[in-house]
């Protein structure tokens, strides 16, 4: 499984034509205690860069954008039921949705983990 990152602090773990999407540890730390999440429903078509989910904390509300174009396969009901899961395991069980990739070429514009970590240091 290959992992990519966006400048909007989403991560994308790709396995074949399926991608799992969530927010990075950096993003959840910046947000603070997460109190609400909304994820897309299976079957929803998303375009790269489109608002796909919502995460709210005691500090702010933020949109989670789809880093790729495709059809949502599954929204993570676990983070809807227990939003603090995003704080506890943002780059694991705290994922937001799974999507079937429409164009794997879109991944070329994303960062690998090293590039993302280096970029975060500049913020």
Stated as kind and residue range, the H or E segment containing 118 is helix 113-121
**What does the alpha-carbon distance between residue 119 and residue 123 come to, in Å, rounded to a whole number?**
7
Q: Is the pLDDT of residue 11 over 90?
A: yes
Do 52 and 67 contact (CB within 8 A), yes or no? no
| Residue 8 to residues 16, 17, 62, 99, 120, Cα–Cα distance (Å) | 23, 22, 10, 18, 11
pLDDT at 1 over 90: no
Domains delineated in the chain: 2-118 (2.40.50.100)
Q: What is the pLDDT of residues 30-82, one digit of tens each?
A: 999 999 999 999 999 999 999 999 999 999 999 999 999 999 999 999 999 99
Distance of CA 15 to the CA centre of its chain: 15
């Amino acid at each position: 499984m290959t992992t990519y990152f966006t400048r909007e602090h989403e991560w994308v773990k790709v396995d074949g034509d399926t991608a799992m999407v969530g927010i990075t540890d950096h993003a959840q730390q910046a947000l603070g205690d997460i109190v609400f999440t909304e994820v897309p429903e299976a079957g929803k078509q998303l375009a790269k860069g489109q608002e796909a989910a919502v995460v709210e904390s005691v500090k702010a509300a933020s949109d989670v954008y789809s880093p790729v174009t495709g059809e949502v396969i599954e929204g993570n009901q676990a983070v809807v039921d227990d939003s603090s899961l995003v704080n506890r395991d943002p780059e694991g069980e705290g994922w937001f949705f799974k999507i079937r990739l429409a164009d794997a070429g879109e991944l070329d514009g994303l960062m690998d983990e090293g590039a993302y970590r280096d970029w975060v240091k500049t913020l």
